[in-house]
Structure 1
Amino acid sequence: MRIKAGLERIPGGLMMVPLLLGSVINTLFPTAAKTFGSFTGAMMTGALPILSVFFFCMGATIDFKATPYILKKGGALLGSKILAGTALGLIAAQFMPTGMVDSGLFAGLSVLAIVASMNDTNGGLYMALIGQYGKKEDGGAYTLMSMESGPFFTMLTLGIAGLAAFPWEAFVGAILPLLVGMILGNLDNELRDFVKPAIPILIPFFAFGLGNTLNLETVWKSGLLGILLGVGVVAVSGTVLILADRLTGGNGIAGIAAASTAGNAAAVPAAIASIDKSYIAIAPSATMLVATCVIVTAILVPLATAVYAKWINSRQANQA
């Protein structure tokens, strides 16, 4: 049986399938984690410990010795995406003073979901698209962009929007595994090479744990709204990132290729809720919205990148 190959044919499959499996178990057998306890219960409820290891491994892959071009390009794309997420979060906060829409067509939409979906780029998708359509040196930009991983920037945005007040210890705790990984990975290249393969391995495990906090009713309700959110992420962040790419000497392909949502972004709402208990009620719907956004952007971004690259190449050919 080719289980892994089958999962990889589904956009975001390594994240989405375990997430949905966990939500099915939690919906049909909500006491399963307590019933089985021990290691089984720990796997069903231990998303945060697994995530802390995941962020450590991500940090270890960030190289301080990046070339000036990579720092310029990665910094521009990272900064632009964070600023776009912050701007949308601040605007959304004006229309959602409680942080979430409680009724109507957009019921379940929250500032948390919007910011989390904007703040993290699908690195694997970005690298693949750059390899096919972009410049080789632009691929290295993700070295810096991977600093998006984790809840830190989302916490910062919620704090700026006045929707949360996190103590400084919470900010440090949110970014500490990533920072420790960065330091150790740069002190020892062998350590970096040792932990790097663990990144994709950990994804289905923390996804399964997150799924066990969700109910299928939440999954159903997030469908159309999640699709709209995904389209919005590509449209808004794509426009901003293309502009940032062109301003730093690129042709915009690296920008549109970065306009996606990473699978691990779906873990951010739960991480935020573990720090600020007022987000416990919002986190389930936000998790599914972001998870749906992962799938939608995984489909739309390659299509948008291909169309944009064709237009750019045609334009350059006509100018030659």
Structure 2
Amino acid sequence: MMKMMKTIEKIPGGLMLVPLFLGAVIHTFAPKSGEYFGSFTNGLMTGTVPILAVWFFCMGAGINIKATGIVLRKSGTLVLTKIAVAWVVAVIAALLIPDGGVQSGFFTGLSVLALVSMMDMTNGGLYASIMQQYGTKEEAGAFVLMSLESGPLVTMLILGTTGLAAFEPQTFVGAVLPFLIGFVLGNIDNDFRTFFSKATHTMIPFFGFALGNTIDLGVIVETGLLGIVMGLLVIVVTGVPLMLADKFIGGGNGTAGVAASSTAGAAVANPMIIASIKPEFMPVAQSATALVAASVIVTSILVPIITAYWAKYMNKKKGASVGEQTNNTSAL
């Protein structure tokens, strides 16, 4: 038997990106396929919003409010730092990048929407798996609050507070309500949490496929090298503040900060979701989606490697310090 699932899971963000690529191929070469088949097939190919709504609900249900103080401190530090960095980037980028995005040169397709979407969400699953290997159990559990970054809410807040977009209050409520209802139900009854949390992984490929059916592969080809550069930029621009925050506020040695410097797979959806709410972003949504997808891949590959290097460096440094203390004690 073919082990397709295991192969897909070996690809960084594969459960999201492989179906997304398949959908993009269909949309590029047969853009009217959903309309042609209609019915449930059309719903599967164009149902980004309802699929995402169910995903957010199940994600909220899977978060346990009974987290330890260490976990909340660590995750809160990382989440707030990541959001703060994305906000500062948005403020600076708004001064340099036109409303319709860059239209020519190497940075063609780059927009404030793309930058914010890349930087304001951490890949929680990637972070947890890295920290299970290179950190403590409490540090690994810090992904608990990272789920709150998922979805368009934080991106909307950043764009709104920087004056780049105006969202009605009910729009913010509507974006987070499914998540909150799931969160409440999951913490009222553990059976709800167990039942609904199982669906969070299951929904990812369906959502990725529907999202892919909004993307023209020609745009991805055009932004290829720029996407790689942006992925590297995300690691540097968010990684350095995250390391400092982890060390001086979170009580760590910077490893958790490096591990959190990725772009979440779910961030790929944000440009199109924001554009569906505020149509003025639609002209830059496709190129932003392509850039975010590239950043997901680049950060998913490099962040584990950089984290491993940093963790080994810190362990070696710690070992040397312990050795010096032992020698000093012996000399006394």
Using the aligned pairs only, state the percent identity: 53
* Unmatched runs of 5 consecutive residues or more in structure 1: none
Match of 1:118 in 2: 119
* Unmatched runs of 5 consecutive residues or more in structure 2: 323-332
Match of 2:325 in 1: none
Match of 1:302 in 2: 304
Match of 2:177 in 1: 176
Whole-angstrom distance in 1 between the partners of 2:145 and 2:18: 29
Whole-angstrom distance in 2 between the partners of 1:71 and 1:124: 17
Q: How does 1:183-198 map to 2 (within 5 A)?
A: 183-198=184-199
User: After superposition, what is the alpha-carbon deviation per residue over 1:10-33, rounded to whole angstroms, capped at 9, x for unaligned?
Assistant: 111111111111111111111111
What letter is aligned with 1:77? L
Match of 2:82 in 1: 81
SS in 2 for 1:64: coil
Whole-angstrom distance in 2 between the partners of 1:67 and 1:143: 11
Match of 2:138 in 1: 137
Match of 2:256 in 1: 254
Whole-angstrom distance in 2 between the partners of 1:256 and 1:61: 25
1:95 positional shift: 0.6
1:252 positional shift: 1.1
Match of 1:22 in 2: 23
User: After superposition, what is the alpha-carbon deviation per residue over 1:214-262, rounded to whole angstroms, capped at 9, x for unaligned?
Assistant: 1111110121111111101111111111111111211111111111111
Using the size of structure 1 for normalisation, the TM-score is 0.98
1:160 positional shift: 2.1
Match of 1:56 in 2: 57
1:101 positional shift: 1.1
Match of 1:275 in 2: 277
**Do 1:99 and 1:111's aligned partners in 2 also have CA atoms closer than 8 Å?**
no
Whole-angstrom distance in 2 between the partners of 1:177 and 1:119: 20
Whole-angstrom distance in 2 between the partners of 1:141 and 1:26: 38
Using the size of structure 2 for normalisation, the TM-score is 0.94
Whole-angstrom distance in 1 between the partners of 2:6 and 2:63: 28
What letter is aligned with 1:188? D
Of the structure 1 ranges 99-108 and 266-275, higher mean CA displacement relative to structure 2 is found in 99-108
Selected match of 1:265 from 264, 267, 273:
267
RMSD: 1.0
1:179 positional shift: 1.1
Of the structure 1 ranges 38-47 and 116-125, higher mean CA displacement relative to structure 2 is found in 116-125
**Do 2:25 and 2:217's aligned partners in 1 also have CA atoms closer than 8 Å?**
yes
Selected match of 1:292 from 277, 291, 294:
294
**Do 1:226 and 1:288's aligned partners in 2 also have CA atoms closer than 8 Å?**
yes
Match of 2:45 in 1: 44
